[in-house]
Structure 1
Amino acid sequence: MPRDYAGDTLLPVLMDPYGGPHGQRVVAAHHPHLTSQWFADQGFAVIVADGRGTPGRSPAWEKSVRDDLAEIVVQDQVDALQALAADFPLDLDRVAVRGWSFGGYLAALAALRRPDVFHAAVVGAPVTDLRLYDTHYQERYIGHPDEQPEVYRRNSVIDDAGLVGAAEPHRPMMIIHGLADDNVVVAHSLRLSSALLAAGRPHEVLPLSGVTHMTPQEEVAENLLRLQLGFLKRSLGLADGNEAR
C-alpha cells in the first residue's frame, strides 16, 4: 500500500507477478520489493502473488503447470486479487498487471484472456510464441513441440492465425523489449505487435536499443519505470502520469 495512505479511498490495483517456474517473488525480504513499493507510493495497491508453478512450496505445486502454463497462472492471479479484495479497499474497476519475461507473458495473457478482470498491461520481454523459445526449460513443462504441437499452440499468446483466446473489450498494452535480448529474442514482441495490429487492438511498443533481457543501466531502468507509470495512469484514467515521487 502507499506509505502515506489514509485508508479512506479505494485504490487502483497493480498486479506485479513473475508467476512462473524458478521465480519465487513472495519472500520475507526488503530489497526484492523496492520497485513494487515505488509503484504503491504512486497511488496503487500493489499485489505480488506467487501462483502454481512457482517454487517455494512443494514439488506437486511446481509440477501442476505441466502442459498448462497459460490458464493456471492467469487464474491464480485472478484468485489472489479477488481474495485480497475481500479484506482491502481495492478498486476492481481499475486493475492493471505488469511483468517481465515470464511475467510479461503472464501480463499479455491476462489482458487478452481476462479483460473482464484486467484493464491494462505492461508486457516486458514476453515469450509470446512458445515455439520460438529454444531452451530445455520449456520442454521440461510442455514437452517437445514436434510431439505436442497443440499444447504449444494452446499456451502461446499468439499462433499462426493471430491472437488466441482474445476477448472483448480490448485492453491497452505497453510492450517493452530489448533489441539485444539473446534470451527471449525480440521477434516474440514483434509477432505480438503484428497480431495485435491485425486484430485492431490498442497497444504501444517500446524498443530498447542496446538492452539485453534485463535493463542493468541505472538511468534506463529508472526512466523505464516512469514511462510504465505514465502508461498505467493514462490507461486506468487516473491523474496525469507524467509526475512520479
Structure 2
Amino acid sequence: MIHDRKSSYSVQTVEMALEIIELLADGTAEYSISQLAQKMGINRNKAFRLLSTLESRGMVEREESSGCFRLGLTALELSQKILRTASLIKHAHPVMEGLARKHDEAVYMTVIKGDEVVFLDMVDCEQHIKAAPLVGQRFPFFTNAAGKVIKALESRDLLERLFKKKKRKEGLPDLQQLESELDQIRKQGVAVDSGGLGEGIISVAVAVRDYAGKVVGAITLLGPSFRMLTDRLENEIIPSLQEGAELLSAKFGYAR
C-alpha cells in the first residue's frame, strides 16, 4: 500500500509540474509563486518546491527584480527539438512512401540520440516475409547501417571517447575495424549492414543533411537477405535511397 501511495503522489506531482509549464507557456505572462499557487489551487509551499525543481532543470527561470517566473531555456530548447523532429517526419514521410512503393521493402526515418539510433517513422511493405516493425526502438549505432552512415561523418576522437566511456567492452566492435568501415562509408555516401538488426536482415542507409550540412538523420531501408541481393542493392536500392536523401535534404535547404 505504501508503494501505491508513492506512485499516486509521483503522478500528481508530474501533473502539477506540467500544469506550471502550460501556464507559463500561455502567452508572455510571468507569475509569482503566490499567483501560480492560487491558479493551481495548491499552497504556496508546494508551489515553491515545484518551481525550485523546475528551475534546477532549467525548465523555468526567475526574474531577479520581480521574483516572477517564466519559461526557461531548457523548455524552449526542448520545444525546438520536438518541432524539428515533427518537421523531419512530415517532410520525410512522402519520400519514404515513394521508396517503399518502388521497392516493396520497409523504409524508416532514423536519427541519432547519443550513441544510439532511434527508428522514428516507418512505411511498411506488402511482402509476406518482413522484419518486425522497429518504430520507437533504439539500437547501438554500430549495429546497423543508419548509425554507421551518420557516425561516419564524426571524428575518430568521438569513437575513441565512446570506447573509453563503455566500462564493459562486450558487444563492442574492434575500434580499428569500425573506423576503417566508417571511412569507407564516408567515401561511398551509403552504409550497408548485414545481421546487426537481426539474423538475415540487411539494412541500407543514406544520410539526410540540413542547410548547414549537418546530418539530421538517415533514410533506412530494411529487408531479408534473400531479397537484398548485391545486384539489386547496387543498381536499384542504393541509387533510389541516394536520390530520396538528396530530395529530402533539399527540403531542409541543403545544396552541394
TM-score by length of 2: 0.25
Query: TM-score, normalization: structure 1?
Result: 0.25
Whose radius of gyration is greater, 1 or 2?
2
Structure with bigger helix share is 2
Kindly indicate whether structure 1 or structure 2 has the higher relative contact order, using CA contacts under 8 Å at least 6 residues apart.
Answer: 1
